[in-house]
Amino acid sequence: MKKELLIASALVSTLGAASVANAVTATMSGSHHTGIRGSDLDSGTDTMAQHNASSFTVSLSETTDGGVGIASSFMLANEGDAGTQTSGLTLTFTDGSKLDVINAGNAAASHDVSVPGGQGEASITVTTANNAQSGLDFFGTGTAIGVEWHSAADFMADGLKVGASISVDDNVAADASATVESAWGLGATYVTSAGDTAVTIGAGYSASEFKESENAKPTADNGYHVGFSAVTGNLTVAAGYANGDKVIDNATSDEREIVDNTVTKVGLKYVSGDITMSVGFTSASGKDSATLGTAGTAEDAVDSTDAGISYAVASGVTANLGYKSVDSQEAGVSESSGGTSWYIGANMAF
């Protein structure tokens, strides 16, 4: 018996040593936002309360003997979102290109141009009946069963990067509503300079097909976005535009509806030492319909203005002051779910 215990102990020790020697590289990152957020609504009760949002991510990576990088990550907590958004795998090749496999992204969304907005957590939620989409990548829903390819820098031309993605049917049943059957996307980013100004231009196109359900016929969403960013010294100026159709949950039933949507975003950011000041404006509008494949006639719209100041207090610690104003129209009529919001707080990141 003693001999068996010694053998078992030696085996465990060996396996333990081997697992340590062969362990992938793990790094941790995360943030914690805490502050006070107030709102002055067009209707209803004004509010003022503490607002927290925290996240904790573990990133894993290793490189094969052939020089191919393998990486993935998972979130232990994400209190500011509905889920932990576990990623798939990313393979990085020796030529600088990358391939995301399993739960890959959409290539159109990956080439959005970032447009400055407010700081902190100021927020106004409009009525669920208003279906105007305000993001530049609102179209092209996909599934987790897919891949996205990212080219290396300077692909076919100095300053050019491109990407392509595709996802396929995950066999989820289309019961009372439509579900995604397949999706694809293309995107490109071009970086150049004009004198002392660094210019970035981004564009993307994506489309998705949806299965037929008991209440709706097969349909699709699709769209494109274009944008630019110009950085001169400490000043950043950026703008973006998107147009397309969106298949979304109907607010009043299990069906889906298409929103013919446009989004225009403009923003400015100026950095002075440890202080960053920014302002942004978004105008979004779309015609929605309760029947798939039928063009809507009543237009929803959301116009929002964001502004903010952040101050780098210490390494990883930022104080934020933010403001947001929202004007909402549902079915062409101004309604009372807009208002203004302010936020003052801090972000601690590691």
Closest CA to 324 of 344, 302, 343: 343
Q: Are 301 and 132 within 8 A, CB to CB?
A: yes
How high is the pLDDT of residue 171?
74
List strand residue ranges (DSSP E) for 233-338, in order: 235-249, 256-272, 275-288, 299-314, 317-330, 333-334
Tens place of pLDDT per residue across the chain (350 aa):
444 333 334 334 434 444 445 688 999 999 999 999 998 887 777 889 998 888 899 999 999 999 999 999 888 877 766 566 667 899 999 999 999 998 888 899 999 999 998 888 888 877 767 888 888 988 878 888 899 999 999 999 999 999 999 998 877 766 666 778 889 999 999 999 989 999 999 999 999 887 766 555 667 788 999 999 999 999 999 999 999 988 876 555 555 677 789 999 999 999 999 999 999 999 999 887 766 666 677 788 899 999 999 999 999 999 999 999 998 887 767 666 788 899 999 999 99
The pLDDT value recorded for residue 250 is 58
pTM over 0.75: yes
232 within 8 A of 109, measured Cβ to Cβ: no
Residues 6+ apart with CB under 8 A from 179: 172, 173, 210, 211, 213
Which pLDDT score is estimated for 314? 95
- Distance between CA 59 and CA 80 in Å, rounded? 19
| Domains, in order of start, for the chain | 105-349 (2.40.160.10)
Q: What pLDDT does 255 receive?
A: 59
Report pLDDT for 118: 85
In whole angstroms, what is the distance from residue 342 CA to residue 277 CA?
15
Residues 6+ apart with CB under 8 A from 203: 111, 187, 188, 224, 225, 226, 227
